Structure 1
Amino acid sequence: MAEKIRDVAHVSAVELLTPVLDDTVRFFTDQMAMEVVERRGNSAYLHAWDDYEHFTVKVTGATTSGIGRTWLRARSPEALSRRVRDIEESGFGEGWDADKRIYHFIDPDGHPFGIYYETQRYQASEATRPSLKNQAARFPGRGANVRRLDHVNFLASDVQINEDFVGQALTGRASEQIILDNGTKAAVWYTFSDKSYDVVYTRDWTGRSGRLHHVAFATDTREDILRAADVFLEAGVHIETGPHKHAIQQTFFLYVWEPGGNRIELCNAGARLLLAPDHEVITWTEAERAKGQAWGLKTIETFHTHGTPPVAESEWA
């Protein structure tokens, strides 16, 4: 059996598109406790307090909501070279950025990505310098206090094709999956690290391509998420479902919609780790998923029908 190479270190940042740029930026600064570190054109770059990277989220004004580019950091310059080679061989490569630092590509469903090794680290200011030197910035002590980006859940017209791409071109490994009674894969969770998952591909019920289900950010504890629910309530942010615990991956969760319409998840940073190098993929059936979440909460209907950019029910394939 060939040794499994893990060339991607982690998902480092994500771009969200929004038709209400200022409102979405305020959501991330006021309710999520992020810091605007840069503005460039029609985009704002925001940093979560313990992210070593320069930015965690890029928010870009657009005519509709949705996901822009997702960035991955390679484990080494050699790992980057191997990934670029395999991505180009897959036929989904787009080429290097102007600085020849980030290689751009798409997945089979059309979601844009960038992969790189050389990075720009966050530099704390006098206002954000922490007392403890082993964290990136001081604890903000407001809103949800999200610590870092956790994972991205993409909607996909064909989960299987994307699974082959993530496994072969990006060296991801599947950790859990949902298989319907007809044998179709409805969703697959992948990890690049020792976390139980970093990206997810979920079947898009509309038949469209390139859409987003949600982006998730990690807090330290479940109690942070419970407090965040009150923060969102007072701010008039739409709480979709939770707080509760998922059966799949056992993530404690809270889902809200930011002002632009994108679904945002808060999850606990102490989620499961996959330390076994020979971990076997956990499969969930339709009957098991019909039971709802870990403690019996039924999955809300909008969790299956809401994605961004939005698609009217009359336009579903």
Structure 2
Amino acid sequence: MTEPDLRHEIAHLARIELHTPDPDGTLWFFTSLLGMYETKREGQSVYLRGYEDPYQWSLKITEGPAPKMGHAALRTSSPEALERRAKSITDGNLPGEWTEDEYGYGKTFAFTTPDGHDLRLLWEAEKYRAPAELKSRILTRASKKPLQGIPVKRIDHLNLLASDVTPVKRSFERHLGMQTRERVVDGDVEMGAWLSSNILGHEVAIMRDALGAQGRFHHVAFYYGVPQHNIDAAEMFREYGVTIEAGPDRHGLTQGSFLYVFEPGGNRVELFGDCGFLELEPDFETKTWTMDDIDVVTAIGGAKLPWETYFTYGTPPVAPALSPHPAPEETTVAPAA
């Protein structure tokens, strides 16, 4: 019997949990502005999904004392792949345990990256079935496009901060079969790595934490479609007092259209478009950028990603991190719907 191809053991990023000290403001941002559907409330948490997300939820908002990523979960390509990846992680001496997971998902393996990020692996996922009033006539769309805000389609990717990029990257390659599509180096130091388990340019990114902290969160990205949506969204955010950090523009690395904002609770969110490049070659070679090309890496069109926030601010915030300008708690938000 041939061994399974490690490259295809992980199917895709399924979900993320964000903690927020301003749950009403965060919920308003994702529902009223980004048009995400609410599917359930439980305790201090609200579950949301984009109109093309296939499962019951892709985003969980949980009230907490500080903004941060609670956890993120990847779906495997089969139940057997889940068992194999969990064994690999355990054999690699990374902390992990089996759990019976929460709403919409089943048996789950929770583990911690070498830098301290809380990640999960799962196979069992309840497909979203739209009620009659939300059923789309487009058969590949899980629900109708909402008539609210400028709605995102689905969760796209996750960006983590790490005190040392290389051990986290290697653990994803070794235990999850993810492939490094692109990376940025400064001499012998890896400043960032962008990885994928499918044809997308990346689904998980790891960037060096400029403050040397461990296990922090940089951003989650939701997919729009075309660059015009980011332009429209930027106008909407200006009108409603949401802090824009950078963009709209297009990255050289990944070639995706971007717009970075801070939701009212203080977490960074990227609105991503065009998919970026698609990796169709089975024998692709990792592309390595240097810091000499950082302007092209970050923005082909010339937008500047501000050092005082983009390369230092992560959640949970740590001293002496600078808060986004203006600080998230000063952002003007409308009442939650």
Instruction: Measure how far apart 1:296 and its partner are.
Output: 2.3
**For residue 58 of structure 1, what is the aligned residue in structure 2?**
60
**For residue 260 of structure 2, what is the aligned residue in structure 1?**
255
> Which stretches in structure 2 are left out of the alignment for 5+ residues?
323-337
Cα offsets for 1:216-267 (capped at 9, x unmatched): 0001211111111111111111011100011111111000000011100001
Runs of 4+ more than 4 Å apart: none
- For 2:276 and 2:31, locate their aligned partners in 1 and report how far apart those are by CA, in whole Å: 25
Cα offsets for 1:255-300 (capped at 9, x unmatched): 0000011100001143211000111111111111145521222322
CA contact (8 A) 2:313 2:321 kept: no
Query: Percent sequence identity over matched residues?
Result: 35
Match of 1:313, SS state, is coil
**For residue 129 of structure 1, what is the aligned residue in structure 2?**
135
**For residue 201 of structure 1, what is the aligned residue in structure 2?**
206
- For 1:155 and 1:144, locate their aligned partners in 2 and report how far apart those are by CA, in whole Å: 28
Aligned partner (choices 219, 222, 238) of residue 233 of structure 1 = 238
**For residue 272 of structure 2, what is the aligned residue in structure 1?**
267
Aligned partner (choices 227, 240, 248) of residue 243 of structure 1 = 248
CA contact (8 A) 2:89 2:96 kept: no
Instruction: Measure how far apart 1:123 and its partner are.
Output: 2.0
1:33-112 equivalences under 5 Å are: 33-98=35-100, 101-112=107-118
* Stretch of structure 1 that moved more, 193-202 or 262-271: 262-271
Match of 1:231, SS state, is helix
**For residue 154 of structure 1, what is the aligned residue in structure 2?**
160
**For residue 288 of structure 2, what is the aligned residue in structure 1?**
283
Instruction: Measure how far apart 1:133 and its partner are.
Output: 2.6
**CA gap 1:314/1:233 in 2 versus in 1, 3 angstroms:** closer
Aligned partner (choices 288, 305, 313) of residue 312 of structure 2 = 305
- For 1:134 and 1:162, locate their aligned partners in 2 and report how far apart those are by CA, in whole Å: 35
1:200-219 equivalences under 5 Å are: 200-219=205-224
**For residue 331 of structure 2, what is the aligned residue in structure 1?**
none
- For 2:125 and 2:248, locate their aligned partners in 1 and report how far apart those are by CA, in whole Å: 35
CA contact (8 A) 2:41 2:47 kept: yes
Aligned partner (choices 176, 196, 199) of residue 182 of structure 2 = 176
Q: May I ask how many residue pairs the two structures share in their alignment?
A: 313
**For residue 326 of structure 2, what is the aligned residue in structure 1?**
none
When normalised by structure 1's length, the TM-score is 0.95
**For residue 31 of structure 1, what is the aligned residue in structure 2?**
33
- For 1:45 and 1:106, locate their aligned partners in 2 and report how far apart those are by CA, in whole Å: 23
Instruction: Determine if the alignment matches structure 1 residue 293 to structure 2 residue 269.
Output: no
Cα offsets for 1:37-66 (capped at 9, x unmatched): 001111110010001111010011110001
CA contact (8 A) 1:172 1:191 kept: yes
CA contact (8 A) 1:17 1:68 kept: yes
> Which stretches in structure 1 are left out of the alignment for 5+ residues?
none
* Stretch of structure 1 that moved more, 145-154 or 114-123: 114-123
When normalised by structure 2's length, the TM-score is 0.89
Instruction: Measure how far apart 1:4 and its partner are.
Output: 4.8
**CA gap 1:170/1:261 in 2 versus in 1, 3 angstroms:** same
CA contact (8 A) 1:71 1:113 kept: yes
**CA gap 1:149/1:87 in 2 versus in 1, 3 angstroms:** same
CA contact (8 A) 1:242 1:255 kept: yes
Q: Which letter maps to 1:109?
A: D
- For 1:167 and 1:55, locate their aligned partners in 2 and report how far apart those are by CA, in whole Å: 27
- For 1:138 and 1:179, locate their aligned partners in 2 and report how far apart those are by CA, in whole Å: 43
Match of 1:161, SS state, is helix
* Stretch of structure 1 that moved more, 153-162 or 97-106: 97-106
**CA gap 1:314/1:146 in 2 versus in 1, 3 angstroms:** closer
